[in-house]
Amino acid sequence: MNKGKNLSDSGNESISLETLRHSTAHVMAQAVKRLFPGVKVAIGPAINDGFYYDFDLEKPFVPEDLDRIEVEMRKIIDKDSAFIRDEISKEEAIDLFQDMKEPYKLELLEEIPDKEVSIYKNDDFTDLCRGPHLASTGKIQAFKLLSIAGAYWRGDEKNKMLSRIYGTAFLDEKSLAKYIDALEEAKKRDHRKLGKELDLFSIQQNAGPGLIFWHPRGARVRDIIETFWKKEHYRRGYELVYGPHISKIDLWKISGHIDFYKENMYSPMDVDEDQYIVKPMNCPGHILIFKSRLRSYRDLPIRMAELGTVYRYERSGVLHGMMRVRGFTQDDAHIFCTPDQMKEEIEGVIDLTRFMMTTFGFDYKVYLSTRPEKFVGTLDNWERSTNALRDALESCGLEYEVDPGEGVFYGPKIDIKLIDAIGRTWQGPTIQVDFNIPERFQVDYIGQDGESHRVVMIHRAVLGSLERFMGILIEHYAGAFPLWLAPEQVRILPINQELIGHAEELASKMMQQDIRAKVDGTNEKMGMKIRNAQVEKIPYMVVVGKREIEQGTISVRDRKKGELGSMSLEDFLNLCHDRINKRTID
- Active site residues per annotation: 283, 312, 330, 332, 334, 413, 459
Q: What is the C-alpha separation between 312 and 280, in angstroms, rounded?
A: 5
How far is the CA of 134 from the CAs of 6, 13, 83, 402, 582, in angstroms? Answer: 10, 11, 7, 30, 54
The one-letter amino acid code at 317 reads G
- For residue 54, the surrounding DSSP H or E stretch is strand 50-56
Closest alpha carbon to 305 in 283, 338, 337, 278? 283
Element (DSSP H or E) covering residue 232: helix 216-235
**HSE-CB for 298 with a 13 A CA cutoff:** 4
E strands of 209-326, at which residues? Answer: 213-214, 239-240, 246-248, 269-271, 274-278, 302-311
CA distance 425 to 472: 10
Q: Are 414 and 393 in contact (CB under 8 A)?
A: yes
| Strand order from edge to edge, sheet including 562-567 | 517-519, 490-494, 540-544, 554-558, 562-567
Contacts of 152 (CB under 8 A, 6+ apart): 158, 159, 160, 161, 162, 315, 317
- Is the CB of residue 46 less than 8 Å from the CB of residue 21? yes
Measured CA to CA, the distance from residue 440 to residue 254 in angstroms comes to 6
Return the amino acid letter for 208.
Answer: G
